[in-house]
Amino acid sequence: MSDIKALNEAVIKGDIQTAVSLTQNAVDAGTKAQEVLDQGLIAAMDQVGDKFAKGEMFVPQMLRSAKAMQECLKLIKPQFQEGDLTSKGKVVIGTVKGDLHDIGKNLVAMMMEGAGFTITDLGVDISADTFVQKVQEVEPDILAMSALLSTTMPGMRETIETLQKAGIKDKVMVMIGGAPVTANFASEIKADAYAPDAGSAVIEAKKVLGIS
């Protein structure tokens, strides 16, 4: 148990090497993978999320913690049966057509991954059809779209309309964000959630899925 606490601390500190070796120790000592995941990794990332929200941690530190978690996860993954590994939810994410900016989108993807979501990152310049095709393929809980340029915002509306035409708008929560995007625009185009930045993206994602 003390190892789990140390693992918890290592993840919060972003000490990848220590976190990985503590995870390996726990696995070798026969600790249940679910316990390592829940109490060691996800609990640590919850704390990281809190600290970040309070301004006690900086973005690179938070991302390092997320990376530490991912590295540890690789070690315990084989112990789970296919589909057994609990995830907060599946997210398909991308920057809309005509927009090649990806810093904000990447940040959202990494923070959501750190918070326990499974991410399918489609990249930048993604057309409405591609978004919809991927939603059909991956069946995510959330479709997240980003735009930095105001001229590319209509791509979000188009994607939602294409989802409607395909009859799957109700099967996925659509979340949008990016510098020119506003809450009003989100409700205007019938998106389910809007997040002004990466930190609130995680909070909003949990909110629309009804999880803590």
Partner 1 sequence: MKPMEIPTFQPRLKVLNRDQTLAIHAAALEILDKTGFKMEHPDAREILVDAGCRILNNDWLRMPSYLVEEALRSAPTQITLYDQKGNKTMPLANGNFFYGTGSDATFTLDLETGDRRRAVKKDVGNFARLVDGLENIAFAMSMGNPEDVPIEYIYVYVFAEMVKNTNKPIVFIADSGKDIAKIYDIACQVAGSEDALQRKPFILNYSEAISPLRFPENVMERLMFCAEKKIPVCFPSGSNAGGGAPVTLAGAMALGIAENLVGLVVHQLVGKGSPFLFGPNVSTLDMKSSVVSYGCPEWSLTQAALADMRDEIYGLPIWAFAGASDAKVMDAQAGAEAMFSIITALLSRSNLIHDVGFLEYGSTSCLEMVTMANELISMSRFFADGIPVTDQTLAIDAIERVARGEPGSIFLTDDHTFENFMQSLFLPQLLDRSRYDSWKSAGAMDFYNRCNLEAKRILSEHQVVPKPDEVLKRINEILQNL
Q: Which residues bind partner 1 (CB under 8 A)?
A: 55, 58-60, 98, 100-101, 103-104, 107, 149-151, 153-154, 179-180, 182, 184, 197-198
Kindly give the pairing relationship between strand 193-194 and strand 173-177: parallel
Residue nearer to partner 1 on the CB measure, 164 or 180: 180
How far apart are the C-alpha atoms of 41 and 115, rounded to whole Å? 10
Residue nearer to partner 1 on the CB measure, 150 or 164: 150
Residue nearer to partner 1 on the CB measure, 31 or 152: 152
- Decide if 201 contacts 195 (C-beta within 8 A): yes
Distances (CA, A) of 106 to 42, 121, 167, 169, 212: 20, 8, 29, 24, 23
Residue nearer to partner 1 on the CB measure, 73 or 93: 93
- Decide if 177 contacts 104 (C-beta within 8 A): yes
How far apart are the C-alpha atoms of 55 and 164, rounded to whole Å? 39
Place of tokens 């590319």: 152
Q: Supply the minimum distance, in Å, between the C-beta of residue 1 and partner 1.
A: 33
For the chain, what is the radius of gyration of the CA atoms? 18
Q: Supply the minimum distance, in Å, between the C-beta of residue 199 and partner 1.
A: 8
* Angle ∠(169,167,175) on CA atoms, nearest 5: 15
Q: Supply the minimum distance, in Å, between the C-beta of residue 96 and partner 1.
A: 13
Residue nearer to partner 1 on the CB measure, 86 or 151: 151
How far apart are the C-alpha atoms of 77 and 81, rounded to whole Å? 9
